[in-house]
Amino acid sequence: MRESFTVDRQRFSFLDFGGPGLPLLAFHGHYNEASTFAPLAEALAPRWRVFALDQRGHGESDRAQSYQRSDYVADIAAFHHHLGLGPVAVLGHSLGGVNAYQYAARHADQVTALIVEDVGAELNADWSLATSLPRHSSSREELTSALGATAPYLECAFRQFGDGGWGFSFDIDHTVESHKALTGDHWGDWNSVICPTLLIRGTDSEVLTREHAQQMIARRAGQAQLAEIPAGHVVHHDAPEQVAAAVRSFLSQLYVG
């Protein structure tokens, strides 16, 4: 079910995948939106009920004036508050992964478990994909053709405009701004997380190296564990069953009954 809430005149849209399960908040990466987690939500049901946010500037949520780190973290806090939930498990991919662990670090009493998918604690974000995207296509087929092998990863964000043309549910220039703000050293936040953490890495990822992932686990020895899955950067897209199994196994260790 799609729902929305407003904070400081900015509207946020989210998907509640429903069911009787325990809540799991999910946050997508750049170029995606909440619907990217539909297969994972289905795989985790009925034990888990996924709430996925269209983050600022993405999906059906409003465009924003700012895409700084503090903005995204405040959005998660507002989303969590809107849902009226107590402490919850949180999952994030790429951009959403950094947002998730920064929220867990800065709101430690609100996060019981953390799952971070294929993103590091120190980033030199690459926005070349954003600047290479077609800004307007005459048809969905033309857009798909222009994207080539990238199309399956972005298709959840395809939108038809009022003039009949096709593009995306995110603004390309805003995406570049968000990438620039994501770049930096976030070790302080990663090291400050106190809840049990699962770091998922795609073995073919060009974003998170094995060495960096191992360093992240070493920095939080005894609290964090690593799952490496044959996949690229968007692990939940390339290997949905394996990701669901890893998430399910991790959470089952923490939530009994």
Domain range summary for the chain, segments of one domain joined by +: 2-122+171-254
pLDDT range class, residue 256, cuts 50, 70, 90: low
Question: Are the beta carbons of 232 and 202 closer than 8 angstroms?
Answer: yes
Specify the amino acid at residue 6. T
pLDDT range class, residue 125, cuts 50, 70, 90: confident
Helix (H) or strand (E) holding 115: strand 111-117
Residue with tokens 């096709």: 166
Helix (H) or strand (E) holding 7: strand 2-7
199-225 pLDDT, tens digit each: 999 999 999 999 999 999 999 999 999
Q: How far is CA 46 from CA 42, 52, 121, 152, in A?
A: 8, 16, 32, 27
* pLDDT above 70 for 233: yes
Residues 219, 113, 106, 51, CA torsion sign = positive
Question: What span, in angstroms and rounded, lies between the C-alpha atoms of 186 and 167?
Answer: 32
Question: Are the beta carbons of 146 and 116 closer than 8 angstroms?
Answer: no
45-102 pLDDT, tens digit each: 999 999 999 999 999 999 999 999 999 999 999 999 999 999 999 999 999 999 999 9
Question: What span, in angstroms and rounded, lies between the C-alpha atoms of 162 and 95?
Answer: 29
Alpha carbon 89 to chain centroid distance? 14
What mean pLDDT is reported for the chain? 96
Q: H/E/C letters for each residue in 59-101?
A: CCCCCCCCCCHHHHHHHHHHHHHHHCCCCEEEEEECHHHHHHH
* pLDDT above 70 for 252: yes
Give the chain's count of helices (H) and strands (E): 11, 12
Question: Residue 104, SS3?
Answer: helix
* pLDDT above 70 for 161: yes
Q: What pLDDT is stored for residue 59 in this prediction?
A: 97
pLDDT-above-70 percentage for the chain:
99
The mean pLDDT value for 146-175 works out to 95
* pLDDT above 60 for 257: no
Q: What pLDDT is stored for residue 151 in this prediction?
A: 96
User: How many Cβ atoms sit within 10 Å of the Cβ of residue 184?
Assistant: 14
Provide the residue count of the chain: 257
Token pair in block for residue 62: 């409003």
Structurally, at CATH architecture level, domain 2-122+171-254 sits in 3-Layer(aba) Sandwich (3.40)
pTM above 0.85, yes or no: yes
Q: What pLDDT is stored for residue 83 in this prediction?
A: 98
Contacts of 221 (CB under 8 A, 6+ apart): none
Alpha carbon 238 to chain centroid distance? 15
